[in-house]
Amino acid sequence: MSEHYYGEGRPLLSVSNLKKYFPVRKGLLRRVVANVKAVDDISFDIAPGETLGLVGESGCGKTTAGRSLLRLIKPTSGHVEFEGKDVLGASGSEMRKFRRNMQIIFQDPYASLNPRMSVNDIISEGIRVHGLADNRKDAESQVRDLLERVKLDPAYINRYPHEFSGGQRQRIGIARALSLKPKFIVCDEAVSALDVSIQAQVINLLMDLRDEFGLSYLFVAHDLSVVRHISHRVAVMYLGKIVEIAKTKDLFSNPKHPYTQALLSAVPVANPTAKKERIVLQGDVPSPMNPPSGCPFHTRCPRVMDVCKSEVPPTRTADDGHSYTCHLDE
Ligand code: SF4
């Protein structure tokens, strides 16, 4: 169990030292000349019923992390356990069982639904493949029930994706993920493509479903204000690494890592008269192919010190699980 865990009992999902490097090949012989370190040694646990938010700028590795732990892409190394069982080393039939329990909702509801399939076919596909229905009629009745759960009219069952709005399509994606009665769902930027008012509705729906079915989520987003409402804890990623992880309230009220502090300074506050100094980060995110030495954030950190350029910072963890990786001892 990693030090970041704060739930009681056995975690539902345990990720240790997960890495995903993409080789860069060049020349006639396609020799590997470098690696893009998309996910670089991350560890975290998720408790039953818990939502962990995973945030960071685009390209920080959060989407790759979510897909690697589900084995949608093959991780380079690391260990993932689901209910105490090894996921990355699982055989084909073992993986089928994991697939039922570990689902994903994709960012783009336009691209992730096959335009030639009806809602009934899209949602019932997994039910039929996994033999969860006695016959076609039973599958259809399960689909109608799922449509109701995601607050779509079951009368739409024979319609096609293009007949729905973005928010409605994402509800279809959620119903598809729920169709196998999973315990864990990766929500991969699941609301990022939606208008703000629709985002709130979909987040509320995901929270209701979590409570109704006892689901756990890894909620991946680039926007801290989006994860705040739904997450019990939040992990912040930068250049493939988790730089801070804490209970949501603690992270927002007492961020320790300068990168988290900068991200939070850009989040709008409810009271516009409240003073808040915006920390503007200079420069772009460095290439994950050639990350900076020492602390990978040192090229943009407003509080950088000499030691940061040469020495990898330590990870400091408080008793309540609030953990951050920095040379500053806050
Ligand atoms: Fe900034 Fe140094 Fe901390 Fe990195 S280790 S976040 S550069 S203060």
pLDDT, average across residues 313-328? 95
* Tokens found for residue 15: 């990720």
248 CA distance to ligand 1 centroid (A)?
A: 22
Distances (CA, A) of 176 to 100, 116, 173: 11, 16, 5
pLDDT at 288: 87
251 CA distance to ligand 1 centroid (A)?
A: 17
CB 101 within 8 A of CB 184: yes
Ligand 1 close to Cβ of residue 308 (< 6 A)? yes
pLDDT at 323: 96
CA distance 312 to 293: 8
The values of phi and psi at residue 313, to 5°, are -70, 155
Amino acid at 75: P
pLDDT at 58: 85
- What SS3 class is residue 180? coil
Ligand 1 close to Cβ of residue 171 (< 6 A)? no
CA distance 40 to 51: 22
CB 194 within 8 A of CB 166: yes
43 CA distance to ligand 1 centroid (A)?
A: 20
> How does the average pLDDT of the chain come out, rounded?
91
Ligand 1 close to Cβ of residue 294 (< 6 A)? no
303 CA distance to ligand 1 centroid (A)?
A: 6
CB 251 within 8 A of CB 244: yes
Q: Which residue has the tokens 């909702």?
A: 105
DSSP assigned state of 132: -
> Is 316's pLDDT higher than 90?
yes
pLDDT at 275: 61
pLDDT, average across residues 234-263? 96
> Is 2's pLDDT higher than 50?
no
Q: Which pTM does this prediction carry?
A: 0.92
245 CA distance to ligand 1 centroid (A)?
A: 16
- The set of residues, in sequence order, having a beta carbon less than 8 Å from that of 281 and lying 6+ positions away, is 259, 262, 300, 302
143 CA distance to ligand 1 centroid (A)?
A: 50
Ligand 1 close to Cβ of residue 221 (< 6 A)? no
Question: What whole-number percentage of the chain has pLDDT above 70?
Answer: 95
Q: Which residue has the tokens 């850009």?
A: 266
Query: How, if at all, do strands 241-247 and 323-325 pair?
Result: antiparallel
Which residues share a beta bridge with 105? 187
Ligand 1 close to Cβ of residue 297 (< 6 A)? yes
CA dihedral of residues 144, 186, 93, 140 (deg, nearest 10): 10
Per-residue pLDDT of 13-65, as tens digits, reads 999 999 999 999 998 889 988 999 999 999 999 999 999 999 998 889 999 99
pLDDT, average across residues 94-123? 91
pLDDT at 6: 56
105 CA distance to ligand 1 centroid (A)?
A: 34
CA distance 40 to 68: 12
> Is 3's pLDDT higher than 50?
no
Ligand 1 close to Cβ of residue 200 (< 6 A)? no
Question: Is residue 7 very low, low, confident or very high in pLDDT (cuts 50, 70, 90)?
Answer: low
pLDDT at 108: 79
Ligand 1 close to Cβ of residue 258 (< 6 A)? yes
Ligand 1 close to Cβ of residue 301 (< 6 A)? yes
pLDDT at 269: 67
Per-residue pLDDT of 193-237, as tens digits, reads 888 889 999 999 999 999 999 999 999 999 898 899 999 999 999
Of 48, 38, 64, the C-alpha closest to 101 is 48
Given the CA of residue 258, which atom of ligand 1 is nearest to it? Answer: 6
Ligand 1 close to Cβ of residue 328 (< 6 A)? yes
Beta strands in the chain (DSSP E): 13-26, 31-46, 51-55, 77-82, 85-86, 102-105, 184-188, 216-221, 233-238, 241-247, 315-317, 323-325
Given the CA of residue 298, which atom of ligand 1 is nearest to it? Answer: 7
> Is 1's pLDDT higher than 50?
no
237 CA distance to ligand 1 centroid (A)?
A: 14
pLDDT at 272: 60
Neighbouring CB atoms inside 10 A of 167's CB total 18
Q: Which of 62-66, 115-119, 276-280, 292-296 has the lowest mean pLDDT?
A: 276-280
pLDDT at 270: 64
CA distance 213 to 210: 5
Given the CA of residue 295, which atom of ligand 1 is nearest to it? Answer: 4
Delineate the domains of the chain, giving CATH numbers in brackets: 13-116+160-253 (3.40.50.300)
Question: Is residue 82 very low, low, confident or very high in pLDDT (cuts 50, 70, 90)?
Answer: very high
pLDDT at 47: 95
328 CA distance to ligand 1 centroid (A)?
A: 7
Of 275, 220, 283, 202, the C-alpha closest to 67 is 220
Per-residue pLDDT of 258-292, as tens digits, reads 999 999 998 776 666 666 678 888 888 888 888 99
Question: What whole-number percentage of the chain has pLDDT above 90?
Answer: 77
Which residues share a beta bridge with 39? 20
